[in-house]
């Protein structure tokens, strides 16, 4: 009976995975010339992947989530400090209701299947964005994940849900304006560091490497402040097909770049 239960759970987890798509162990940290401290990924191309395979868009998002597990594990294995993932933007509410509902369900499914492993691996989960607009069940799931892993000291896993970069900066401005109005802050002392301390990612390093899959070359309102000096890589592969090997290639590309931060070397 126990074996039957395990078998059913395994089938449920794998039922949306395309046959032949296998996990790859990937390279080790010592194989890279230099690794970024903070990687941000815009996981683009789920819809086009689904269309290519003649599937519903929701199936593309689900396949993308299956792929995400391997990327998170590999990032953790490499010892990278922060991984920021663009899961759902403030603009995504305008998508068809069926697609939005599927994405909301994926939030529940992902944390139900992954929270135990993430917590056991000392991953610290942080949700970037305004959780108040989310359905109650999803909001509580995210709050619980944050609270459960708040004391963890490993990989900082930032998941952007109902997030917009301009909205984040406006939020920081409102907080600073309120502090100034109440006499707790001298506006003349506000610096870039002050603003950074009031962003969702406060205390984390700025983004070193931003990856956007599917070949699209734009930020789409993602981590605008944090990406000021990020290196950008735009692989043409659609997100559900973005393998650990492709990820390693992007990391290797980053390691070979000379970063000047505005200076002349």
Q: How far is Cα 82 from Cα 75, in angstroms, rounded to an integer?
A: 9
Contact 140, 112 (CB under 8 A): no
Report CA-CA distances (Å) from 121 to 113, 125, 155, 251: 14, 11, 9, 22
Contact 222, 201 (CB under 8 A): no
Q: Is the pLDDT of residue 8 over 70?
A: no
**Averaged confidence pLDDT in the chain:** 91
Residue 264: the pLDDT is: 67
Contact 244, 23 (CB under 8 A): yes
Q: Is the pLDDT of residue 16 over 90?
A: no
What percent of the chain shows pLDDT beyond 90?
Answer: 86
Report CA-CA distances (Å) from 173 to 111, 166, 176, 210, 225: 32, 11, 5, 25, 13
The pLDDT of 230-255, averaged and rounded, is: 97
Contact 158, 84 (CB under 8 A): yes
Options 44, 208, 241, 248, the catalytic residue:
44
Contact 46, 1 (CB under 8 A): no
Q: How far is Cα 145 from Cα 125, in angstroms, rounded to an integer?
A: 7
Residue 14: the pLDDT is: 40
Confidence band for 24, pLDDT divided at 50, 70 and 90: low
pTM of the model: 0.88
Residue 10: the pLDDT is: 39
Indicate the range of 8-17, 19-28, 83-92, 136-145 predicted with least confidence: 8-17
The 3 state secondary structure assigned to the chain is CHHHHHHHHHHHHHCCCCCCCCCCCCCCHHHCCCCCCEEEEECCCHHHHHHHCCCCHHHHHHHHHHHHHHHHHHHHHHCCCEEEEEEEECCHHHCCHHHHHHHHHHHHHHHHHHHHHHHHCCCEEEEECCHHHCCHHHHHHHHHHHHHHCCCCCCEEEEEEEECHHHHHHHHHHHHHHHHHCCCCCHHHCCHHHHHCCCCCCCCCCCCEEEEHHHCCCCCCCCCCCCCCCEEECCCCCHHHCCHHHHHHHHHHHHCCCCCCCCCC
Residue 259: the pLDDT is: 79
Q: Is the pLDDT of residue 200 over 50?
A: yes
Options 46, 67, 77, 92, the catalytic residue:
92
Q: How far is Cα 122 from Cα 102, in angstroms, rounded to an integer?
A: 29
Known catalytic residue at 158: no
- How many other C-beta atoms lie within 10 A of the C-beta of residue 192? 9
Known catalytic residue at 44: yes
The pLDDT of 35-49, averaged and rounded, is: 97
Sign of the alpha-carbon torsion through 30, 31, 35, 39: negative
Among 125, 131, 132, 130, which residue's Cα sits nearest to residue 158?
125
């Amino acid at each position: 009976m126990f074996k039957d239960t395990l078998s059913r759970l395994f089938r449920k987890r794998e039922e949306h995975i395309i046959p032949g798509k296998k996990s790859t162990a990937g390279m080790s940290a010592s194989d890279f010339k230099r690794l970024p401290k903070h990687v941000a990924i815009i996981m683009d191309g789920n819809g086009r992947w689904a269309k290519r395979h003649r599937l519903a868009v929701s199936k593309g998002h689900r396949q993308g989530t299956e792929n995400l597990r391997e990327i998170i594990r590999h990032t953790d294995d490499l010892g990278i400090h922060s991984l920021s993932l663009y899961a759902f933007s403030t603009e995504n509410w305008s998508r068809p209701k069926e697609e939005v509902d599927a994405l909301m369900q994926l939030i529940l499914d992902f944390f139900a299947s992954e929270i135990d492993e993430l917590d056991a691996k000392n991953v610290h989960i942080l949700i970037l964005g305004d959780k108040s607009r989310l359905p109650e069940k999803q909001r509580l799931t995210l709050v619980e994940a944050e609270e459960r892993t708040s004391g963890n000291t490993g990989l900082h896993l930032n998941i952007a849900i109902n997030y917009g970069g301009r909205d984040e900066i406006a939020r920081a401005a409102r907080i600073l304006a309120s502090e100034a109005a109440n006499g707790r802050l001298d506006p003349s002392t506000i610096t870039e560091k002050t603003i950074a301390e009031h962003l969702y990612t406060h205390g984390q390093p700025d983004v070193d490497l931003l990856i956007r899959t599917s070949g699209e070359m734009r930020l789409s309102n993602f981590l605008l402040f944090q990406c000021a000096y990020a290196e950008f890589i735009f692989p043409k592969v659609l997100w559900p097909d973005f393998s650990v090997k492709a990820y390693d290639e992007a990391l290797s590309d980053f390691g070979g770049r000379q970063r000047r931060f505005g200076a002349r070397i």
